Structure 1
Protein backbone atom coordinates (compact mmCIF):
# COMPACT_ATOMS: atom_id res chain seq x y z
CA UNK A 1 0.00 0.00 0.00
CA UNK A 2 1.40 3.44 -0.92
CA UNK A 3 0.72 4.96 2.50
CA UNK A 4 3.65 7.35 2.07
CA UNK A 5 1.84 9.02 -0.81
CA UNK A 6 -1.28 9.64 1.29
CA UNK A 7 0.82 11.01 4.17
CA UNK A 8 2.70 13.47 1.94
CA UNK A 9 2.29 17.20 2.50
CA UNK A 10 -0.41 18.41 0.15
CA UNK A 11 -4.09 17.93 -0.67
CA UNK A 12 -5.55 14.42 -0.84
CA UNK A 13 -9.11 13.74 -1.97
CA UNK A 14 -11.09 10.90 -0.43
CA UNK A 15 -14.27 10.12 -2.36
CA UNK A 16 -17.05 7.83 -1.25
CA UNK A 17 -17.88 5.19 -3.85
CA UNK A 18 -21.62 5.75 -3.37
CA UNK A 19 -23.78 7.99 -1.21
CA UNK A 20 -24.11 5.29 1.46
CA UNK A 21 -20.30 4.97 1.67
CA UNK A 22 -19.76 8.49 3.04
CA UNK A 23 -19.48 7.31 6.68
CA UNK A 24 -17.00 4.62 5.60
CA UNK A 25 -14.89 7.24 3.81
CA UNK A 26 -14.85 9.41 6.93
CA UNK A 27 -13.95 6.43 9.12
CA UNK A 28 -11.08 5.52 6.81
CA UNK A 29 -9.74 9.08 6.89
CA UNK A 30 -9.86 9.21 10.70
CA UNK A 31 -8.28 5.77 11.04
CA UNK A 32 -5.48 6.72 8.67
CA UNK A 33 -4.78 9.99 10.45
CA UNK A 34 -4.81 8.32 13.85
CA UNK A 35 -2.53 5.49 12.80
CA UNK A 36 -0.14 7.04 10.30
CA UNK A 37 0.11 10.67 11.33
CA UNK A 38 -1.04 11.64 14.82
CA UNK A 39 0.50 8.81 16.81
CA UNK A 40 3.89 9.52 15.26
CA UNK A 41 3.93 13.08 16.61
CA UNK A 42 4.23 14.44 20.15
CA UNK A 43 0.93 16.02 21.25
CA UNK A 44 0.39 17.78 17.92
CA UNK A 45 -3.29 18.52 17.27
CA UNK A 46 -5.47 17.61 14.31
CA UNK A 47 -7.65 20.24 12.60
CA UNK A 48 -11.10 19.01 11.55
CA UNK A 49 -13.34 21.42 9.63
CA UNK A 50 -16.89 20.53 8.67
CA UNK A 51 -20.15 22.24 7.82
CA UNK A 52 -23.44 22.30 9.69
CA UNK A 53 -24.94 20.30 6.83
CA UNK A 54 -22.31 17.55 7.14
CA UNK A 55 -22.91 17.33 10.89
CA UNK A 56 -26.68 17.05 10.39
CA UNK A 57 -26.39 14.50 7.60
CA UNK A 58 -23.67 12.22 8.97
CA UNK A 59 -23.40 13.13 12.65
CA UNK A 60 -21.14 15.34 14.72
CA UNK A 61 -17.67 14.23 15.91
CA UNK A 62 -17.90 11.70 18.76
CA UNK A 63 -15.13 11.33 21.36
CA UNK A 64 -15.26 7.54 21.99
CA UNK A 65 -15.32 6.95 18.25
CA UNK A 66 -12.17 9.04 17.82
CA UNK A 67 -10.41 7.05 20.54
CA UNK A 68 -11.20 3.79 18.73
CA UNK A 69 -9.18 5.10 15.78
CA UNK A 70 -6.21 6.12 17.89
CA UNK A 71 -7.13 9.81 18.18
CA UNK A 72 -7.13 11.73 21.45
CA UNK A 73 -10.25 13.97 21.46
CA UNK A 74 -8.29 16.53 23.49
CA UNK A 75 -5.94 16.95 20.53
CA UNK A 76 -8.64 17.48 17.89
CA UNK A 77 -9.61 21.07 17.08
CA UNK A 78 -13.07 20.96 15.52
CA UNK A 79 -14.43 23.87 13.50
CA UNK A 80 -18.09 23.53 12.51
CA UNK A 81 -18.98 26.29 10.07
CA UNK A 82 -22.29 27.47 8.64
CA UNK A 83 -21.38 26.73 5.02
CA UNK A 84 -18.67 25.39 2.77
CA UNK A 85 -17.03 28.76 2.13
CA UNK A 86 -16.58 29.42 5.85
CA UNK A 87 -15.29 25.88 6.46
CA UNK A 88 -12.83 26.15 3.57
CA UNK A 89 -11.57 29.50 4.89
CA UNK A 90 -11.02 28.00 8.35
CA UNK A 91 -9.22 25.01 6.83
CA UNK A 92 -6.94 27.22 4.73
CA UNK A 93 -6.10 29.52 7.65
CA UNK A 94 -5.41 26.50 9.84
CA UNK A 95 -3.01 25.10 7.26
CA UNK A 96 -1.20 28.44 7.02
CA UNK A 97 -0.71 28.42 10.80
CA UNK A 98 1.55 25.34 10.54
CA UNK A 99 0.33 24.21 13.96
CA UNK A 100 -1.30 20.89 13.05
CA UNK A 101 0.01 17.45 12.25
CA UNK A 102 -2.78 17.03 9.68
CA UNK A 103 -6.03 18.61 8.54
CA UNK A 104 -9.36 17.00 7.64
CA UNK A 105 -12.15 18.70 5.75
CA UNK A 106 -15.79 17.71 5.22
CA UNK A 107 -16.54 20.44 2.73
CA UNK A 108 -18.47 20.64 -0.51
CA UNK A 109 -16.20 22.29 -3.08
CA UNK A 110 -18.28 24.69 -5.18
CA UNK A 111 -15.40 26.05 -7.28
CA UNK A 112 -12.07 24.50 -8.34
CA UNK A 113 -10.11 27.54 -7.12
CA UNK A 114 -10.87 26.65 -3.49
CA UNK A 115 -9.31 23.22 -3.88
CA UNK A 116 -6.24 24.74 -5.53
CA UNK A 117 -5.83 27.22 -2.67
CA UNK A 118 -6.07 24.42 -0.11
CA UNK A 119 -3.53 22.35 -2.04
CA UNK A 120 -1.09 25.25 -2.17
CA UNK A 121 -1.54 25.99 1.55
CA UNK A 122 -1.02 22.32 2.44
CA UNK A 123 2.18 22.05 0.41
CA UNK A 124 3.56 25.35 1.71
CA UNK A 125 2.88 24.42 5.34
CA UNK A 126 4.17 20.84 4.80
CA UNK A 127 0.91 19.47 6.18
CA UNK A 128 -1.18 16.57 4.83
CA UNK A 129 -4.76 17.70 4.19
CA UNK A 130 -7.41 15.02 3.62
CA UNK A 131 -10.53 16.38 1.94
CA UNK A 132 -13.70 14.29 1.88
CA UNK A 133 -15.84 14.71 -1.21
CA UNK A 134 -19.07 13.18 -2.44
CA UNK A 135 -19.36 10.21 -4.76
CA UNK A 136 -20.31 12.39 -7.73
CA UNK A 137 -17.92 14.43 -9.83
CA UNK A 138 -14.64 13.71 -11.58
CA UNK A 139 -12.30 14.76 -8.81
CA UNK A 140 -10.78 17.99 -7.53
CA UNK A 141 -7.84 19.82 -9.13
CA UNK A 142 -4.52 20.26 -7.37
CA UNK A 143 -4.60 16.99 -5.43
CA UNK A 144 -1.60 14.74 -4.88
CA UNK A 145 -3.78 11.64 -4.60
CA UNK A 146 -7.43 10.72 -5.02
CA UNK A 147 -8.85 7.66 -3.28
CA UNK A 148 -12.29 6.10 -3.72
CA UNK A 149 -13.56 4.33 -0.60
CA UNK A 150 -16.33 1.77 -0.26
CA UNK A 151 -17.50 -0.08 2.84
CA UNK A 152 -16.38 -3.70 2.83
CA UNK A 153 -17.73 -6.72 4.68
CA UNK A 154 -15.62 -7.43 7.76
CA UNK A 155 -14.00 -10.81 8.36
CA UNK A 156 -15.91 -11.43 11.58
CA UNK A 157 -14.85 -11.23 15.19
CA UNK A 158 -12.37 -13.75 16.58
CA UNK A 159 -14.75 -14.78 19.40
CA UNK A 160 -17.86 -15.01 17.21
CA UNK A 161 -17.84 -15.39 13.45
CA UNK A 162 -21.37 -13.92 13.29
CA UNK A 163 -20.39 -10.74 15.18
CA UNK A 164 -19.08 -7.60 13.44
CA UNK A 165 -15.33 -7.74 12.96
CA UNK A 166 -12.69 -5.12 12.31
CA UNK A 167 -13.59 -2.12 10.12
CA UNK A 168 -12.78 -2.87 6.49
CA UNK A 169 -12.67 -0.78 3.33
CA UNK A 170 -12.22 -1.34 -0.38
CA UNK A 171 -9.78 1.32 -1.59
CA UNK A 172 -9.14 2.39 -5.16
CA UNK A 173 -6.27 4.74 -5.97
CA UNK A 174 -7.66 6.85 -8.82
CA UNK A 175 -4.93 9.48 -8.97
CA UNK A 176 -1.38 9.62 -7.65
CA UNK A 177 1.52 11.72 -8.82
CA UNK A 178 4.39 9.46 -9.76
CA UNK A 179 2.39 6.22 -9.65
CA UNK A 180 0.06 4.34 -11.95
CA UNK A 181 -3.56 4.88 -10.83
CA UNK A 182 -6.52 2.48 -10.79
CA UNK A 183 -5.06 0.10 -8.24
CA UNK A 184 -7.30 -1.44 -5.57
CA UNK A 185 -6.91 -3.06 -2.16
CA UNK A 186 -9.20 -4.31 0.59
CA UNK A 187 -7.81 -3.44 4.02
CA UNK A 188 -8.78 -3.95 7.65
CA UNK A 189 -8.07 -1.76 10.65
CA UNK A 190 -6.77 -3.45 13.79
CA UNK A 191 -8.47 -1.59 16.63
CA UNK A 192 -6.29 -3.11 19.36
CA UNK A 193 -2.75 -2.47 18.17
CA UNK A 194 -3.96 0.08 15.58
CA UNK A 195 -2.78 -0.15 12.04
CA UNK A 196 -3.89 -1.33 8.63
CA UNK A 197 -3.34 -4.66 6.97
CA UNK A 198 -4.56 -6.43 3.89
CA UNK A 199 -7.87 -8.12 4.67
CA UNK A 200 -7.29 -11.71 5.77
CA UNK A 201 -9.21 -13.37 2.95
CA UNK A 202 -7.28 -11.35 0.35
CA UNK A 203 -3.95 -11.86 2.11
CA UNK A 204 -4.56 -15.61 1.97
CA UNK A 205 -5.17 -15.39 -1.75
CA UNK A 206 -1.96 -13.39 -2.22
CA UNK A 207 -0.01 -15.97 -0.23
CA UNK A 208 -1.49 -18.80 -2.28
CA UNK A 209 -0.61 -16.99 -5.49
CA UNK A 210 2.94 -16.55 -4.23
CA UNK A 211 3.22 -20.26 -3.44
CA UNK A 212 1.93 -21.12 -6.90
CA UNK A 213 4.45 -18.82 -8.57
CA UNK A 214 7.26 -20.34 -6.51
CA UNK A 215 6.16 -23.89 -7.42
CA UNK A 216 5.96 -23.02 -11.10
CA UNK A 217 9.40 -21.45 -11.02
CA UNK A 218 10.85 -24.65 -9.56
Structure 2
Protein backbone atom coordinates (compact mmCIF):
# COMPACT_ATOMS: atom_id res chain seq x y z
CA UNK A 1 0.00 0.00 0.00
CA UNK A 2 1.37 3.40 -0.94
CA UNK A 3 2.08 5.91 1.77
CA UNK A 4 -0.02 9.11 1.86
CA UNK A 5 1.72 12.21 0.54
CA UNK A 6 2.90 14.35 3.45
CA UNK A 7 1.45 17.88 3.61
CA UNK A 8 3.69 20.68 2.34
CA UNK A 9 6.02 22.17 4.90
CA UNK A 10 6.29 25.86 5.68
CA UNK A 11 9.49 25.94 3.59
CA UNK A 12 7.68 24.30 0.67
CA UNK A 13 4.88 26.86 0.87
CA UNK A 14 7.38 29.71 0.99
CA UNK A 15 9.19 28.38 -2.09
CA UNK A 16 5.91 28.09 -3.98
CA UNK A 17 4.89 31.61 -3.00
CA UNK A 18 8.25 32.95 -4.21
CA UNK A 19 7.95 31.06 -7.50
CA UNK A 20 4.44 32.40 -8.04
CA UNK A 21 5.54 35.96 -7.27
CA UNK A 22 8.41 35.70 -9.76
CA UNK A 23 6.14 34.24 -12.42
CA UNK A 24 3.50 36.93 -12.00
CA UNK A 25 6.12 39.69 -12.05
CA UNK A 26 7.65 38.29 -15.22
CA UNK A 27 4.33 38.09 -17.07
CA UNK A 28 3.41 41.65 -16.08
CA UNK A 29 6.66 42.91 -17.59
CA UNK A 30 6.52 40.70 -20.68
CA UNK A 31 3.00 41.81 -21.57
CA UNK A 32 3.75 45.47 -20.86
CA UNK A 33 7.15 45.77 -22.57
CA UNK A 34 7.56 42.75 -24.81
CA UNK A 35 9.62 39.65 -24.08
CA UNK A 36 12.91 40.73 -25.65
CA UNK A 37 12.94 44.09 -23.85
CA UNK A 38 12.77 42.51 -20.38
CA UNK A 39 15.84 41.18 -18.56
CA UNK A 40 16.12 38.74 -15.69
CA UNK A 41 17.38 41.64 -13.57
CA UNK A 42 14.17 43.54 -14.39
CA UNK A 43 12.12 40.57 -13.24
CA UNK A 44 14.13 40.19 -10.04
CA UNK A 45 13.55 43.86 -9.18
CA UNK A 46 9.84 43.60 -9.94
CA UNK A 47 9.49 40.52 -7.73
CA UNK A 48 11.82 41.96 -5.05
CA UNK A 49 14.17 38.96 -5.11
CA UNK A 50 17.79 38.33 -6.09
CA UNK A 51 18.66 37.44 -9.69
CA UNK A 52 19.92 34.03 -8.54
CA UNK A 53 16.56 33.37 -6.89
CA UNK A 54 14.88 33.79 -10.27
CA UNK A 55 17.24 31.22 -11.80
CA UNK A 56 16.66 28.87 -8.86
CA UNK A 57 13.02 28.64 -9.92
CA UNK A 58 13.21 29.13 -13.69
CA UNK A 59 16.26 27.97 -15.71
CA UNK A 60 15.71 30.48 -18.52
CA UNK A 61 13.70 33.54 -19.49
CA UNK A 62 11.72 31.41 -21.95
CA UNK A 63 10.72 29.12 -19.06
CA UNK A 64 9.27 32.17 -17.31
CA UNK A 65 7.05 32.91 -20.30
CA UNK A 66 5.94 29.28 -20.72
CA UNK A 67 5.31 28.70 -17.02
CA UNK A 68 2.51 26.18 -17.65
CA UNK A 69 4.58 24.15 -20.09
CA UNK A 70 4.68 20.90 -18.09
CA UNK A 71 0.93 20.50 -17.94
CA UNK A 72 0.49 21.68 -21.53
CA UNK A 73 3.08 19.26 -22.92
CA UNK A 74 2.07 16.15 -20.98
CA UNK A 75 -1.73 16.53 -20.84
CA UNK A 76 -2.79 14.87 -24.17
CA UNK A 77 -0.65 11.78 -23.63
CA UNK A 78 -1.78 11.51 -20.03
CA UNK A 79 -5.44 11.93 -21.02
CA UNK A 80 -5.14 9.04 -23.48
CA UNK A 81 -3.33 6.74 -21.03
CA UNK A 82 -5.71 7.37 -18.13
CA UNK A 83 -9.01 7.39 -19.98
CA UNK A 84 -11.89 5.15 -18.98
CA UNK A 85 -12.49 1.88 -20.82
CA UNK A 86 -15.59 3.27 -22.54
CA UNK A 87 -13.93 6.58 -23.55
CA UNK A 88 -12.52 6.99 -27.05
CA UNK A 89 -9.19 8.64 -27.80
CA UNK A 90 -11.03 11.61 -29.28
CA UNK A 91 -13.18 11.99 -26.18
CA UNK A 92 -10.10 11.83 -23.95
CA UNK A 93 -8.32 14.50 -26.01
CA UNK A 94 -11.40 16.71 -25.99
CA UNK A 95 -11.72 16.30 -22.23
CA UNK A 96 -8.06 17.23 -21.79
CA UNK A 97 -8.37 20.32 -23.98
CA UNK A 98 -11.48 21.53 -22.15
CA UNK A 99 -9.86 20.90 -18.79
CA UNK A 100 -6.82 22.95 -19.77
CA UNK A 101 -9.11 25.70 -21.04
CA UNK A 102 -10.96 25.68 -17.73
CA UNK A 103 -7.70 25.76 -15.76
CA UNK A 104 -6.52 28.78 -17.73
CA UNK A 105 -9.82 30.54 -17.06
CA UNK A 106 -9.64 29.85 -13.32
CA UNK A 107 -6.04 31.08 -13.24
CA UNK A 108 -7.06 34.28 -15.04
CA UNK A 109 -4.87 33.48 -18.06
CA UNK A 110 -7.60 33.16 -20.67
CA UNK A 111 -8.57 36.83 -20.63
CA UNK A 112 -4.91 37.75 -21.26
CA UNK A 113 -4.46 35.31 -24.14
CA UNK A 114 -4.61 38.01 -26.83
CA UNK A 115 -1.78 40.02 -25.28
CA UNK A 116 0.04 36.76 -24.57
CA UNK A 117 -0.13 35.71 -28.23
CA UNK A 118 0.96 39.13 -29.47
CA UNK A 119 3.96 39.03 -27.15
CA UNK A 120 4.83 35.54 -28.36
CA UNK A 121 4.47 36.45 -32.04
CA UNK A 122 6.81 39.42 -31.62
CA UNK A 123 9.71 37.32 -30.28
CA UNK A 124 11.69 34.90 -32.48
CA UNK A 125 13.06 33.23 -29.34
CA UNK A 126 9.56 32.52 -28.04
CA UNK A 127 8.30 31.29 -31.40
CA UNK A 128 11.18 28.83 -31.55
CA UNK A 129 10.54 27.61 -28.02
CA UNK A 130 6.82 27.23 -28.70
CA UNK A 131 7.60 25.04 -31.71
CA UNK A 132 9.83 22.85 -29.53
CA UNK A 133 7.05 22.48 -26.97
CA UNK A 134 4.47 21.55 -29.61
CA UNK A 135 6.84 18.97 -31.08
CA UNK A 136 7.51 17.50 -27.64
CA UNK A 137 3.76 17.39 -26.99
CA UNK A 138 3.14 15.57 -30.28
CA UNK A 139 5.92 13.09 -29.56
CA UNK A 140 4.56 12.23 -26.11
CA UNK A 141 1.06 11.79 -27.50
CA UNK A 142 2.32 9.58 -30.33
CA UNK A 143 4.14 7.42 -27.78
CA UNK A 144 0.93 7.01 -25.78
CA UNK A 145 -1.06 6.19 -28.92
CA UNK A 146 1.49 3.55 -29.95
CA UNK A 147 0.46 1.63 -26.82
CA UNK A 148 -3.17 1.51 -27.99
CA UNK A 149 -4.95 -1.39 -29.63
CA UNK A 150 -4.95 -1.43 -33.45
CA UNK A 151 -5.58 0.37 -35.69
CA UNK A 152 -4.39 3.53 -33.93
CA UNK A 153 -1.14 1.85 -32.89
CA UNK A 154 -0.32 0.53 -36.36
CA UNK A 155 2.28 1.94 -38.75
CA UNK A 156 2.38 5.72 -38.81
CA UNK A 157 -1.06 6.15 -37.29
CA UNK A 158 0.24 7.26 -33.84
CA UNK A 159 2.30 10.05 -35.41
CA UNK A 160 -0.57 10.99 -37.74
CA UNK A 161 -3.13 11.16 -34.92
CA UNK A 162 -0.75 13.23 -32.80
CA UNK A 163 -0.27 15.65 -35.70
CA UNK A 164 -4.04 15.84 -36.24
CA UNK A 165 -4.53 16.59 -32.53
CA UNK A 166 -1.93 19.35 -32.67
CA UNK A 167 -3.67 20.89 -35.68
CA UNK A 168 -7.02 20.77 -33.86
CA UNK A 169 -5.40 22.53 -30.90
CA UNK A 170 -4.15 25.36 -33.13
CA UNK A 171 -7.51 25.78 -34.87
CA UNK A 172 -9.36 25.91 -31.55
CA UNK A 173 -6.84 28.31 -30.01
CA UNK A 174 -7.25 30.67 -32.96
CA UNK A 175 -11.05 30.51 -32.70
CA UNK A 176 -10.94 31.29 -28.98
CA UNK A 177 -8.70 34.32 -29.58
CA UNK A 178 -11.04 35.51 -32.35
CA UNK A 179 -14.03 35.35 -30.02
CA UNK A 180 -12.17 37.09 -27.22
CA UNK A 181 -11.32 39.93 -29.62
CA UNK A 182 -15.00 40.07 -30.63
CA UNK A 183 -15.91 40.77 -27.02
CA UNK A 184 -17.24 37.41 -25.85
CA UNK A 185 -16.61 36.50 -22.23
CA UNK A 186 -14.49 33.52 -21.22
CA UNK A 187 -17.58 31.74 -19.85
CA UNK A 188 -19.49 32.27 -23.11
CA UNK A 189 -16.59 30.98 -25.15
CA UNK A 190 -16.10 27.86 -23.05
CA UNK A 191 -19.76 26.94 -23.37
CA UNK A 192 -19.97 27.60 -27.11
CA UNK A 193 -16.75 25.83 -28.15
CA UNK A 194 -17.35 22.61 -26.22
CA UNK A 195 -19.37 20.90 -29.01
CA UNK A 196 -16.77 22.08 -31.52
CA UNK A 197 -13.93 20.59 -29.45
CA UNK A 198 -15.65 17.21 -29.27
CA UNK A 199 -16.52 17.24 -32.98
CA UNK A 200 -13.05 18.20 -34.25
CA UNK A 201 -11.18 15.61 -32.21
CA UNK A 202 -13.77 13.04 -33.31
CA UNK A 203 -13.20 13.91 -36.98
CA UNK A 204 -9.44 13.64 -36.46
CA UNK A 205 -9.70 10.16 -34.92
CA UNK A 206 -12.12 8.94 -37.60
CA UNK A 207 -9.79 10.17 -40.36
CA UNK A 208 -6.80 8.49 -38.78
CA UNK A 209 -8.61 5.18 -38.35
CA UNK A 210 -9.67 5.21 -42.01
CA UNK A 211 -6.16 5.72 -43.39
CA UNK A 212 -5.08 2.78 -45.53
CA UNK A 213 -1.62 1.45 -46.19
CA UNK A 214 0.04 3.05 -43.15
CA UNK A 215 0.94 -0.28 -41.54
TM over 0.5, yes or no?
Answer: no
Higher relative contact order (CA 8 A, sep 6+): 1
Normalising by structure 2, report the TM-score: 0.25
Normalising by structure 1, report the TM-score: 0.25
Q: Larger % of strand: which? A: 1
Structure 1 or 2, whichever has the larger Rg, is: 2
